[in-house]
Amino acid sequence: MDSSSSSTGLNAGVDVKKMVGIAYVALGIVSVLFFSSLIESIFAAMRWSNPTLLGVEQFSPATLIGFGISLAIVLGCFFNKKIHAGSVDIATELKRVTWPSFAETKVSTVAVVVVSIVASLILFFFDFVSSKIMSNWIPALLNWISGG
């Protein structure tokens, strides 16, 4: 039995190529949102008009430009042999990952919260003491030394 057939969890039944395709679609959606917003900001900064097209508020020249840039990036990544092979390798490694159970995640989360609270209390103590030393005790000591 090889390691790919013993996968468990959410990605157990998903083919590596499908995972890569889903990742490219997600990259496309996120980059459309990013580049559309960026182009809209550039249009606003340059005081250029960005009219709505076909009466739909989200459909504008900035959206079309953002979509074009995103499409070029996604297709460039998909058809670039090195990037595509790297994507497949990453998806293959992700299928081998053993994800923690919900119980393990709860225990780890509680441990992180407890350690964070303890660390914040220790830092509060040192901050409080150093603040008292610098603002009250050192000036009082200097005043006592100078005879004032």
pTM: 0.57
Q: CA distances (Å), 80 to each of 51, 73, 83, 84, in order? A: 35, 10, 5, 6
At 1, the pLDDT band (50, 70, 90 cuts) reads: very low
How sure is the predictor about 29, in pLDDT bands with cuts at 50, 70 and 90? Answer: very high
Three-state DSSP class for residue 56 = strand
Cβ count within 10 A of residue 63: 22
Query: pLDDT, tens digit, for every residue of 55-80?
Result: 767 778 888 999 999 999 999 999 99
Between CA 85 and CA 124 the distance in angstroms is 50
Residue ranges of the domains in the chain? 16-99, 100-148
Residue 6: band (very low, low, confident or very high) from pLDDT cuts 50, 70, 90: very low
Average pLDDT rounded to a whole number, residues 119-144: 92
54 falls in which pLDDT band (50, 70, 90)? Answer: confident
User: Does residue 8 carry a pLDDT above 60?
Assistant: no
pLDDT for residue 16: 87
Maximum pairwise Cα distance, the chain = 85
Q: Who contacts 64 (Cβ-Cβ below 8 Å, separation ≥6)?
A: 53
Tell me which DSSP letter residue 11 carries: T
Three-state DSSP class for residue 53: strand
Q: Which residue has the higher pLDDT, 54 or 137?
A: 137
62: buried, middle or exposed (CB in 10 Å: 19+, 13-18, 0-12)? buried
* 55 Rama sector, left if φ>0, alpha if ψ -120 to 50, beta otherwise: left
